[in-house]
Chain A
Amino acid sequence: MSTRINVTVNGLQYSHMVEPRLLLVNYLRDVLRLTGTHVGCDTSSCGACTIHVNGKATKCCTLLAVQADGCEITTIEGLSHNGELHPLQEGFNECHGLQCGFCTPGMIMMAADLLQHNPQPTEESIRHALEGNFCRCTGYQNIVKSVQYAAEKMKMSEAVH
């Protein structure tokens, strides 16, 4: 029994008939072919699938596509605007916040949610915010620094505007 969903993903509107059991992550990856959102586990633990649904960080492996009906979704592909990288995307490059890159989209999307709530996070609050995102490569230190870099950069651009 398929159900129609209407969603806005990275600013574009989509309408599809989907099976209720289709997970949102599979809708994004297989139907919309937005493959930047990854699947790293089956217990909602690793955070590789983190996206924003209505502005909130979400593990989309634990959401049915039908639950997202009417929602506004941002994935890693939609984070940068007009070809300009988001400060987090820049920060991860500047501070070597990634190695294999697999956890990176989820990590960045989670960090983006954090910076919305807490523009000047401490090291401790960054580490706490990222507790639901596993990285096996970096040991997290440079990820923390990448988020600090982005926070600093966002603060400076605020000051300019």
Chain B
Amino acid sequence: MIPVAFDYEKVKTVEEAIAALSGDDLKILAGGHSLIPAMKLRLSRPGKLIDIGGITALKDIKEEDGEIVIGAGATHADIMYHNLIRTHLPFFTEGAATIGDMQVRNWGTIGGSLAHADPAADWPAMVLAADATIEMQGVKGRRNIKATEFFTGLFATVLEPNELITAVRIAIPPDGTKSTYQKFAQPASRFALAACAVMRFPDGRTNIAFTGVGDHAFRDTGAEQAISGKAIDDASVEAAMLAALQNVDVMSDHYASEPYRRHLSKVYLKKALMAVKS
């Protein structure tokens, strides 16, 4: 498998990257673990790659002004092994371990995953449930956008062609916050067939996000309203399951038809809610 020939530029800073991002036939190469397979199969044929893998500034994971800041270039493994994450966002640790396999986790980056916006990728659900902010930088400067506004469709985000994600910012959850990522994996690819991320705050506010279900990951406000502020018990979980997936076009493939995927999603919502029950 050999990609179509292309030009290549390795950049060392975000500024260099933005400067290089002119012209429309180019792609940003981060970890490359979504892009390179597509290029090998010649499904993707960019004329030029801008390799941002060498921008060390993007790899940081740190605490800053009450927020956890995960550099876009942090790999799934970096996040999985990071103590700050384990302490404040344990479901990121748990969820990162379900992405691809160890070799993929060593290269794939959170920024790459979010920008790629695969409908069954894991990070989108987690960052949605964490109510994260996506930080982007482009020729027009820096902008922040809520994760809830970021995903717009199948492989589609608000990211402009000449922009790159620089970080994911998450307000440090108050003590007593519980979170989980529950995933039913497609047995071959191990992408989510249906997965549910939940973050429940001590005051009972509950963020619920799904991936693998529709053509992009989403927060399920119906389910959130049904359970937020209520004790998690059989009745409230039942109500959340009933309220979930309203107005969602549920995907279908040969591992899960639409009705089965809808059912699975609700089962995984239940599992997730039971996991954050105090």
On whether the beta carbons of A58 and B103 are closer than 8 Å, the reply is yes
Contacts of B106 in A (CB 8 A): 56-58
Q: Which of B30-61 contact A (CB under 8 A)?
A: 32-33, 36-37, 39-41, 49, 51, 53
The answer to whether A19 touches B103 (Cβ under 8 A) is no
Quick check: is A21 within 8 A (CB to CB) of the other chain? yes
Q: Tell me, in angstroms, the Cα distance from A57 to B101 when the chains sit together.
A: 10
A121-143 CB contacts (< 8 Å) to partner B? 128-129, 131-133
Cβ–Cβ < 8 Å partners of B7 in chain A: 1, 20
Interface window among A6-14, A40-48, A73-81, A94-102? A40-48
Q: Is A3 an interface residue (CB 8 A)?
A: yes
Tell me if B's interface is mostly helix, strand, loop or mixed: loop
A21 to B1 Cα, complex, angstroms = 10
B130 to chain A minimum Cβ distance, whole angstroms, is 24
Cβ of A35 under 8 Å from chain B: no
Q: By the criterion CB–CB under 8 Å, are B8 and A114 in contact?
A: no
Taking the closest CB of chain B, its distance from the CB of A160, in whole angstroms, is 29
Q: Are B51 and A21 in contact (CB under 8 A)?
A: no
Question: Interface SS of chain A: helix, strand, loop or mixed?
Answer: mixed
Which residues of A lie under 8 Å from residue B6 when comparing CB positions?
Answer: 20-21
Q: Would A69 and B102 be within 8 Å (CB), given that A21-B4, A62-B32 are in contact?
A: no
Q: Give the residues in chain A near B39, CB-CB below 8 Å.
A: 21
Of A42, A50, A63, A129, which one neighbours B32 at CB under 8 angstroms?
Answer: A63
For residue A72, CB closer than 8 A to chain B, the reply is no
Q: Which residue of B lies closest to A128 (CB)?
A: B97
- A 104-116 binary contact with B (CB < 8 Å = 1; else 0): 0000001001100
Chain B nearest Cβ from A134, distance in angstroms: 10
Q: Are A42 and B102 in contact (CB under 8 A)?
A: no
The answer to whether the Cβ of B201 comes within 8 Å of any Cβ in the partner chain is no
**Chain A residues near B107 (CB-CB < 8 A):** 58-59, 62-63
Q: How far is the CA of A19 from the CA of B102 in the complex (A)?
A: 28
Interface residue tally on B, bucketed by range: 20 to 34
Structural contact, B102 and A113, CB atoms closer than 8 A: yes
Task: Kindly state whether residue A88 has any CB partner on chain B within 8 Å.
Answer: no
Q: How many residues of A contact B (CB 8 A)?
A: 31
Hey, which chain B residues are within 8 Å of A69, CB to CB?
A: 10
With A56-B77, A66-B8, A67-B53 already in contact, the answer to whether A42 and B104 are too (CB < 8 A) is no
Kindly identify which residue among A20, A56, A129 contacts B8, using a CB–CB cutoff of 8 Å.
A20
B41 contact set on A, CB distance < 8 A: 42-43
Partner of B40, one of A3, A19, A42, A57: A42
Shortest Cβ distance from B48 into A: residue? A20
Min Cβ gap B251→A in Å is 20
For A63, list chain B residues within 8 Å (CB).
32, 36, 107
Rounded to whole angstroms, the CA-CA distance of A44 and B1 in the bound complex is 11
A64 within 8 A of B: yes
Contact of A67 among B29, B103, B189 (CB under 8 A): B29
A42 touches B1 (CB 8 A): yes
A50 CA to B102 CA in the complex, in Å? 10
Additional 19 contacts, C-beta under 8 A, given A64-B29, A133-B101: A20-B6, A20-B49, A21-B2, A23-B2, A47-B103, A58-B103, A59-B104, A59-B107, A61-B1, A62-B32, A62-B33, A62-B107, A67-B29, A67-B53, A69-B10, A110-B103, A131-B190, A132-B100, A132-B102
Q: Which residues of A contact B (CB under 8 A)?
A: 1, 3, 19-21, 23, 42-45, 47, 50, 56-59, 61-64, 66-67, 69, 110, 113-114, 128-129, 131-133
